[in-house]
A = this chain, B = another copy of it.
Amino acid sequence: MSPTLTAPPRKQASDRGRLEPLTRLVDDALERALPKATLPPQVIHEAMRYCVFSGGKRFRPLLCLGGCEAAGAPARRAMTVAVALELLHTYSLVHDDLPALDNADERRGQASCHRKFGEGNAILVGDALLTMAFAWLGRDGTPNTLAIVREIGSACGTDGLIGGQILDLQAISQPRSSTERNLRDIAQRKTAALITASVVSGALAGGAEAEQIKRLRRYGQSAGLAFQLIDDVHDRDGLAQVMGTEAARQEAQRLIARAVEALEPFGRRAQTLRHLADWLLETAQRP
């Protein structure tokens, strides 16, 4: 049930071309932000890097940088926030994979954190990434930091990500509760909330006005639900199972169109967010 879409092929020449340099900037910023693997206690820093540099597509950081550009500011102004978002996403995967939750042995084609470093260390790696994300946001220099902390904190809390994990855990133990309505609620909290907060926090860092935030929130909510639908279509589970694969795919495509519509007043400033929607659409069309 966890989002595991294949990483966008970085060397592909397409309308996604613009995403490559931004993705490299995010990777460089993560590289600089994370403590060196040789710093004691070594095992935790090594494990944090193992999890963060495992081929993730940096979808949330890119949404954040795209939100910042849409607000009329250069992408780099939101880089601190983008780094924090990837740390948060990674923490959620590390804990989600634990034996007491999804019990996943693999993640992105390599051993999951607890399979590689042991369960105790994996719990602490997740805690460390979560803690570092908020400490990182506390660095000076990004406008509207407190509003960003509240936006992201709420998306990651019991209304959002953690609430979704709890409902997911209940759905695993009571499979009869996996109705479409419940699965939509889980997708909203577990996936769409942080995706929405990624766009909105980037926009806040870029100094967006209330009306712009409202539109970008609509983009994020549509893209976020589409993202989960596509993931379920590829995994043939979750919403694709209860709705039917083609119905789920078609809804994802409609949602992506609605996301792009929300960008209309931003003109060329929303190019990155459009490219991200295009990439989503490509993945939706894959068999």
Contacts and interface: CB of A to CB of B under 8 A. Distances in A.
A166 interface: yes
A134 to B, nearest CB: 4
Nearest to A146: B138
Contact of A157 (B120, B131, B167): B131
Nearest to A142: B146
Interface stretch (A94-102, A216-224, A234-242): A94-102
Interface stretch (A38-46, A253-261, A263-271): A38-46
A189 to B, nearest CB: 9
A48 B156 CA distance: 15
Contact of A135 (B48, B132, B154): B154
Interface residues of A, number: 50
Given A124-B162, A128-B157, A139-B150, 7 more contacts: A41-B170, A43-B170, A45-B158, A100-B118, A134-B153, A138-B153, A149-B149
B162 A128 contact: yes
A165 interface: yes
Contact of A146 (B100, B119, B145): B145
A29 interface: no
A35 interface: yes
